[in-house]
Amino acid sequence: MSKVKIKGNASGTGVLTIEAPNTNTDRTITLPDGTGTLLTTDGDGSALTGVGGGGAMEFISKQVASGVTSVEFTGISTSYKHLEIRVSSTNSTVGGAKIQFGSSGTYTTSGYRRFGTSSSYIHLITYTGSAAKDLNTIVHIGNLGESSNTLFSSESEGWETAYAYQTSNFGVLESSSSMDSIKIYHSSAFNGTFSLYGIKDS
């Protein structure tokens, strides 16, 4: 018969209390057959591994841009089959920003196509206004970690002095190489929060 042992910590002085809820029903808690850390209701899961996957969206990393001309995500695991970059609270400059894909921080400058036209990049969005504010964009990227064409699309919303707007964009990088890096860049400095999320097949 296996045993249950509760062990104290010789360096600590706090008292941990295991307390029963207000219930009239017998309950059984089955512990997992593995070593790890239990997540409590006030935890964010950041120290846990193996959480998500199998179609669940996972947070990967975040960058906060302030007066920079590019934002990069490198070393992205090839196990992510779908990626999203959520851009929020950025200024109008990013409306003309471009996106490239690459490997180990070296970016491909050919093979991009948008509406059948060859290019060295894909536009992040197609908005051409002059005074956009509070721009929010969701960038969808597929097949980045596979040896097949990398797919791209984005959906954006924001407002000018006179009206609100929405716009979208899409494109493809025709390449047989596996990519692990993404760069969003512009000739002028921009601000904003860029959060990268991913979905694994399993």
Bridge partners (DSSP) of residue 88 are 193
Cα(62)–Cα(160) distance, integer angstroms: 27
pLDDT of residue 144: 77
Cα(143)–Cα(95) distance, integer angstroms: 24
The total of other beta-carbon atoms located within 10 Å of residue 78's CB is 13
pLDDT of residue 85: 87
Using alpha carbons, select from 171, 194, 190, 193 the residue that is nearest to residue 101: 171
Bridge partners (DSSP) of residue 117 are 114
pLDDT of residue 86: 86
Bridge partners (DSSP) of residue 24 are none
pLDDT of residue 53: 47
Using alpha carbons, select from 72, 152, 140, 83 the residue that is nearest to residue 106: 72
- Residues with Cβ within 8 Å of 107's Cβ and at least 6 positions away in sequence, in order, are 100, 101, 181, 183
pLDDT of residue 196: 92
The domains of the chain are located at 57-200
User: Which ranges of the chain have pLDDT less than 50?
Assistant: 53
Cα(146)–Cα(83) distance, integer angstroms: 12
pLDDT of residue 46: 57
- Give 135: exposed, middle or buried? Use CB within 10 Å, 0-12, 13-18, 19+: buried
Query: Per residue in 108-149, pLDDT tens?
Result: 888 888 777 888 888 776 555 555 556 677 888 887 767 677
pLDDT of residue 14: 92
pLDDT of residue 15: 92
CA 186 to chain centre: 20
**Structure tokens belonging to residue 23:** 């219930």
Cα(100)–Cα(74) distance, integer angstroms: 12
Range 57-200: architecture per CATH: Sandwich (2.60)
